Amino acid sequence: MPSALAAEVDRRLGAVEAELTAAAGGASLCSISRSGGGSVPTVKYLEGRMAALLELRRTVRRTSDDGADPVAAARTEWTTALEDLRRRDAGPDWLAYRAGGVDELNELGPAREEGSTGH
């Protein structure tokens, strides 16, 4: 299971990286955030998707297939962080970043379940 999940995460990372590169127009993410040109929620959303996948990939690589669902654990962590930001009335860039991660993990979960053969 971890190898199948790792392969799926890598595939999704490639797709998100291409979207992020196109949205950033070749500029670094730090320069976009610091440019002072206003909110950049689209880029932050994609950055959050990528960050969630990178965290998940690290988790999958360092753990064995012990029956735990790393996607569910990551989803819970990202959702909790997003809810905390909403309670604190955080800015749109932070909300977009966390929402991107939550959305990516939500999409990854059902995609894996549809492709499974059951127990």
C-alpha span between 88 and 72 (Å, rounded):
24
**Placement of tokens 């993990």 in the chain:** 105
C-alpha span between 85 and 66 (Å, rounded):
32
* Maximum alpha-carbon separation in the chain: 52
Q: Which domain holds residue 83?
A: 2-115
pLDDT attached to residue 118: 40
Total of domains in the chain: 1
> Would residue 28 be called left, alpha or beta, if left means φ above 0 and alpha means ψ between -120 and 50 degrees?
beta
- 85 exposure class (CB count in 10 Å sphere: 0-12, 13-18, 19+): middle
C-alpha span between 39 and 47 (Å, rounded):
14
pLDDT attached to residue 119: 35
Is 70 within 8 Å of 60 (Cβ atoms)?
Answer: yes
Q: What is the pLDDT along the chain (119 residues), one digit of tens a residue?
A: 458 888 999 999 999 999 998 887 777 766 666 665 544 788 899 999 999 999 999 998 887 666 678 999 999 999 999 999 999 999 998 999 999 999 999 999 765 655 544 43
Residues in Cβ contact with 1 at an 8 Å cutoff, skipping those fewer than 6 apart: 65
Predicted TM-score (pTM) of the model is 0.83
Is 109 within 8 Å of 75 (Cβ atoms)?
Answer: yes
